Chain A
Amino acid sequence: EVQLVESGGGLVQPGGSLRLSCAASGFTFSSYWMHWVRQAPGKGLVWVSRINSDGSSTSYADSVKGRFTISRDNAKNTLYLQMNSLRAEDTAVYYCARGGTLYGDYDYWGQGTLVTVSS
């Protein structure tokens, strides 16, 4: 059974940092692109970042570029999101998601971890 389990969320002050983790199991992690998608309270889904299967290529939404870093450890079957210079508008539930078909869908999602940026 495919499982994605996020951790690392919490309350952080503006300007602070957090590192999110996503532990994957039930599939060959090193064969899949992985993504982070966030959802502000009561709002819709917003793509944040992606990383290819071997970690050699990454992309970011403009809103987080230069502040967030996605990475992965295929030996540990874990995806990461290092978030620096956090702002109030980064407050959201952060989901990790597995890249699905070649049509760019996300076929499995974690349960999400809440990041709250507030003083």
Chain B
Amino acid sequence: DIQMTQSPSSVSASVGDRVTITCRASQGISSWLAWYQQKPGKAPKLLIYAASSLQSGVPSRFSGSGSGTDFTLTISSLQPEDFATYYCQQANSFPVTFGPGTKVDIK
């Protein structure tokens, strides 16, 4: 199975900060990467697909980049509603695997 790692595991940030989360795959996955946001007690929400494509309805402050093994999710100006846990997911190889998550909380 492809192993996904994320860094940092948690980050404390303030409203207005730029936040960058990194996701690394144990082998190349081309652009078969998605990012999800999950708030406590809620289902995950798709933010980014195909590594850099913004899902419909997702604010443009979210962006994704990367290909191969290294990917980033950037929140350009953190808003109060963005405090959540973020997961990356690869679908290049069976089975689909998720990263362990990055928790973004309030500084």
Contact = CB atoms under 8 A, between A and B. Distances in A.
Interface of A: 44-47, 59, 61-62, 95, 100-101, 103-112
Tell me the dominant secondary structure on chain A's binding face. Answer: loop
B97 A100 contact: no
Interface string B43-56: 11110011001010
B45 A109 contact: yes
Given A46-B98, A47-B95, A61-B95, A103 B87 contact: no
Between A47, A59, A104, A109, the greatest number of chain B beta carbons within 10 A of the residue's beta carbon is seen for A104
A47 B43 contact: no
A45 B98 contact: yes
Contacts of B36: 45, 106
Contacts of A46: 98
Contacts of A103: 31-34, 49-50, 91
